[in-house]
Amino acid sequence: MQREAAIREPLILGNKTYKDITDDVVGPNEGPAPMGWKIMITIAALIAVYGVGSILYLLGTGIGVWGLNKTVGWSWDITNFVWWVGIGHAGTLISAVLLLFRQKWRMAINRSAEAMTIFAVIMAAIFPGIHMGRIWVSYWVLPLPNQFGSLWVNFNSPLLWDVFAISTYFSVSLVFWYIGLIPDFATIRDRMKKPLAKKIYGILSFGWSGRAKHWTRFEEVSLVLAGIATPLVFSVHSIVSMDFATSVIPGWHTTIFPPYFVSGAVFSGFAMVQTLLLIMRKGMKLENYIHVKHVEYMNIVIIVTGSIVGVAYLTELFISWYSGVEYESYAFINRFSGPYSWSYWIMMTCNVISPQLFWFKKIRRSLIATFILSIVVNIGMWFERYVIIVTSIHRDYNPSSWGEFHPTSVDIGIFIGTLGIFFTLFLGFARFFPVLALNELKTILKSSGENYKKSHESH
């Protein structure tokens, strides 16, 4: 049997057995919906409906209803896209990269982090879709034979790379997530008393029976998918950053963008995981499985990636001066002292200064401080994209065409609406899906469960 060092904190607290893990995780799926859940999903769904209404109004009227103008032709749409894609990076990082590094603490959080990833990527995909204006011709982004020549899509363009990257990322994450879910759906199927629910979980579980050969294949598939999803995580946000970096706009045309965006994405993704899980563990009474140690591990990732982001901000600033290119240099002076300096300083405070508080062990292990800081980081990361996008283009080469961007109610409605859709989906997931990876947690119970660790010590 595998043992681990006694000084490592146990990952599963309390005197748990295999049966307890099933009961604790699946129990909330079986009982009636709690009042708090009903209230939350109602609010989220109302906001979602408002968002869908805003989107329909946009599609019916045209993207002129956004606050875009001749100078600032890209703003909240692409900001929201990058923000959501960034959030969508933590899930696959947790399940794939941490699997390759054999980090057992990932098992308590990977399921919900992957769900978050999938929902966040769906939210992200909305923005380039509706930004086309004529969403009904969005299939033109695919290289399909057509009546125009054939005129093909441009494979030299990072925007097209993005189409491939995002769709690959979404579908591979979905498959990775679902393959892990199949055995857990089987667990619910075999426990469920209600006939209709039993039938549905039966279909969802694909007839999984837990045969030894199937488990061998399961582990192989998980490992190989993790192996190929790891470079995928890095490639997707690198490609998103190339949407900017391959252009010639000062402030965008930067070679450090790919690593800077990837660490920013992991940073914001982990912050969102913290926000969601701190509520979920409380609401679903999973404190024994997702506890202070898990939160601390995630906060350590936040310090590391937040510091990389901070270094990237300062590097950009230094290089813009050191390069001697006056356009480049002006773009950055304008960033911190121009009309959008307020957003620059929000970004700096939220992303560079606030995560440094996690160096203090007390703060790093405090759930309330973590919750507040996770929201601060998410706000900061939204402003990071806003700063990069809007401040770089609102003053172009020709001062007569300088302008500013002011969001309209449709801009705001769509952004808030995607938050509503996201939370509706996530709450639906928390209610009907096994929110922790049951089959994986059971494999670490004997090496990392509190009761087992204590009994090992006494021997």
Partner 1 sequence: MGKVFHVMYDDDDTLKEAASQLVSKGVHIREVYSPFPIHGIDPIIGIKRTRLAIAAFMYATTGTTLALLGMWYFMIHDWPMNIGGKPSFSLIENLPAFIPVTFEFSVLCGAHGMAITYLLRNGTLPGMPATNPDPRTTDNMFVMEIAAEGQPLAADALEAAIQQTALVELSVKETH
User: Is the torsion defined by CA of 15, 17, 20, 26 positive or negative?
Assistant: positive
22, HSE (Cβ side, Cα atoms, 13 Å): 14
* Interaction between residue 255 and partner 1 (CB under 8 A): no
Closest approach, Cβ 301 to partner 1, in A, equals: 24
Binding partner 1 (rule: CB under 8 A), the pick from 160, 317, 325, 375 is: 160
* Interaction between residue 195 and partner 1 (CB under 8 A): no
Binding partner 1 (rule: CB under 8 A), the pick from 100, 219, 342, 403 is: 219
**Euclidean distance between CA atoms 359 and 336, whole angstroms:** 27
Side chain identity at 189, as an amino acid letter? R
Closest approach, Cβ 214 to partner 1, in A, equals: 5
Closest approach, Cβ 9 to partner 1, in A, equals: 22
Q: Which of residues 120-149 bind partner 1 (CB under 8 A)?
A: 143, 149
**Euclidean distance between CA atoms 167 and 439, whole angstroms:** 28
Asked, as a colleague might, if the bond just before 400 is cis with ω within 30 of 0, I would say no
Determine the straight-line distance between the first and last CA of the chain, rounded to whole angstroms. 14
Q: Which stretch binds partner 1 (CB under 8 A): 55-63, 223-231, 323-331, 451-459?
A: 223-231
| Residue 97: how many other CB atoms lie within 10 Å | 17
**Euclidean distance between CA atoms 125 and 113, whole angstroms:** 18
The answer to whether the beta carbons of residues 371 and 275 sit under 8 Å apart is yes
DSSP letter for each residue of 308-365:
HHHHHHHHHHHHHHHT--HHHHHHHHHHHHSTTHHHHHHHHIIIIIGGGGGGSHHHHT
Q: By C-alpha distance, which of 65, 40, 41 is closest to 414?
A: 65
Closest approach, Cβ 192 to partner 1, in A, equals: 10
Closest approach, Cβ 103 to partner 1, in A, equals: 17
Closest approach, Cβ 101 to partner 1, in A, equals: 18
Q: Which of residues 437-456 bind partner 1 (CB under 8 A)?
A: 438-440, 442-443, 446
Side chain identity at 285, as an amino acid letter? K
**Euclidean distance between CA atoms 434 and 420, whole angstroms:** 22
- Show the CA angle centred on residue 299, arms to residues 420 and 293, nearest 5°: 105
**Euclidean distance between CA atoms 183 and 438, whole angstroms:** 8
Which CB atom, from 44 or from 232, has the smaller least distance to partner 1? 232
Q: Which stretch binds partner 1 (CB under 8 A): 154-162, 272-280, 339-347, 404-412?
A: 154-162
**Euclidean distance between CA atoms 251 and 397, whole angstroms:** 13
Binding partner 1 (rule: CB under 8 A), the pick from 105, 218, 313, 422 is: 218
Closest approach, Cβ 447 to partner 1, in A, equals: 11
Closest approach, Cβ 25 to partner 1, in A, equals: 11
* Interaction between residue 237 and partner 1 (CB under 8 A): no
* Interaction between residue 229 and partner 1 (CB under 8 A): yes
Asked, as a colleague might, if the bond just before 150 is cis with ω within 30 of 0, I would say yes
Which CB atom, from 137 or from 151, has the smaller least distance to partner 1? 151
* Interaction between residue 304 and partner 1 (CB under 8 A): no
Count of residues interacting with partner 1 (CB under 8 A)? 71
**Euclidean distance between CA atoms 126 and 61, whole angstroms:** 17
Which CB atom, from 241 or from 418, has the smaller least distance to partner 1? 241
x-or-dash string of contact with partner 1, 198-217, rule CB under 8 A = ----xxxxxxxxxxxxxxxx
Q: Which of residues 379-438 bind partner 1 (CB under 8 A)?
A: 438
Closest approach, Cβ 242 to partner 1, in A, equals: 8
Closest approach, Cβ 268 to partner 1, in A, equals: 22
Which CB atom, from 39 or from 228, has the smaller least distance to partner 1? 228
Residues with Cβ within 8 Å of residue 9, at least 6 apart in sequence = 293
Which CB atom, from 152 or from 322, has the smaller least distance to partner 1? 152
Which CB atom, from 212 or from 368, has the smaller least distance to partner 1? 212
**Euclidean distance between CA atoms 151 and 163, whole angstroms:** 17
Q: Which of residues 17-36 bind partner 1 (CB under 8 A)?
A: 17-19, 22
Q: Which of residues 53-72 bind partner 1 (CB under 8 A)?
A: none
Which CB atom, from 170 or from 270, has the smaller least distance to partner 1? 170
Which CB atom, from 163 or from 347, has the smaller least distance to partner 1? 163
